[in-house]
Structure 1
Amino acid sequence: MRTGLHAGYDRVVLDLSGEEPVLGWFVSVVDEAVEDPSGLPMDVEGAAFLQVVVRGIDWTTDSPERYDGDPVTGAGTEVVTEVVHGGLFEGQQQIVVGLTEETAFRVFSLPDPARIVIDVQHP
């Protein structure tokens, strides 16, 4: 996971590994950061939150490339405050993006290497 500042938007990139990663996801604005599936509150800096769920995660195999789960700060970004790993449940990885405020966003994938990209518009 990494963040970056661009003209007019902040970008969050989720790098994926594997020989043929399945790029499935859904993203929604949520009122509070709650860990899936426990329902416990998550400590995510921000006044608004994007919940990102990446599907098709192979959680059965140990991988040296697997992300360690430490939060990624939005250092130098305008809207993104923090990106935090949530629960991994039934092949779905939850990630919560903290924002300074709710604003427009877009999500798309890029190949070679496989990535899911979230662009968050500056207000």
Structure 2
Amino acid sequence: MSSSDGHRSVVRGCRCSAGRSCQDPGRHPGDPAYDRLVFEFDGGLPGYELRYVPEVRSPGRGAPIDLRGAAFVEVRFRPATTHDSSGVSTLRTARDGGGMPALCDYQFAGGFEGYVRYGLGLEGTVPYRVTELAHPSRIAVDIAA
């Protein structure tokens, strides 16, 4: 989990792609395939937490998020926001997507009191890894396919 210096990071959006981990520097050909979901931020990286949950719920109201898949991961960023000081959305990408081998679905679940939450619907309970990236500030989630 990363930490923040007290200001809110601004979530700009996320995008997904399929690949083979051998495309990553330092990995070896023949490593398993993965699906990658990348979250982009302005203002540096926020703190983050990913965990398997029975269902993903929206922050604040607690309403369940309808996700396709057999297993669900909740992604939380804090402190973070998805709107500017005028209340205008900062998201520049679709709020949902997926349709990949391991990543069936993802959705923006909401933001509340400095938390931003996404839900991931996966094909099953599989390993994932989180990588912090810079220029621009991003968090990449690689899901074993």
Q: 2:69 aligns with which of 35, 40, 46?
A: 46
Q: 1:16 aligns with which of 22, 27, 41?
A: 41
- Tell me the distance in 1 between the aligned counterparts of 2:86 and 2:126: 37
Q: Tell me the amino acid that sits aligned with residue 30 of structure 1.
A: V
| Superposed displacement of residue 47, structure 1 | 1.3
Is 2:115 the partner of 1:92?
A: yes
1:117 aligns with 2:140: yes
- CA distance in 2 between counterparts of 1:85 and 1:68 reads 12
Q: Number of residues paired by the alignment?
A: 119
Partner residue, 2:97: 73
Letter of the 1:6 partner, please give it.
G
1:61 and 2:74 are equivalent in the alignment = no
- Over residues 87-112 of structure 1, what are the superposed CA-to-partner deviations in whole Å (9 max), with x where a residue is unaligned? 21111100011111110001121010
Cα distance in structure 2, aligned partners of 1:61 and 1:102: 38
Identity %: 26
Query: TM-score, normalised on structure 1?
Result: 0.85
Give the TM-score normalised by the residue count of structure 2.
0.73
> Partner of 2:80: helix, strand, or coil?
coil
**Alpha-carbon spacing, 1:5–1:87, altered in 2? closer, same or farther (3 Å):** same
Which consecutive residues of structure 2, in runs of 5 or more, have no partner in the other structure?
Answer: 1-13, 21-32
Is the contact between residue 23 and residue 116 of structure 1 (CA under 8 Å) also seen in structure 2?
Answer: no
Determine if contact 1:22/1:55 at 8 Å carries over to the other structure. no
**Alignment equivalent of 1:5, drawn from 12, 18, 28:** 18
CA distance in 2, matches of 1:109, 1:101: 24
2:54 corresponds in structure 1 to 31
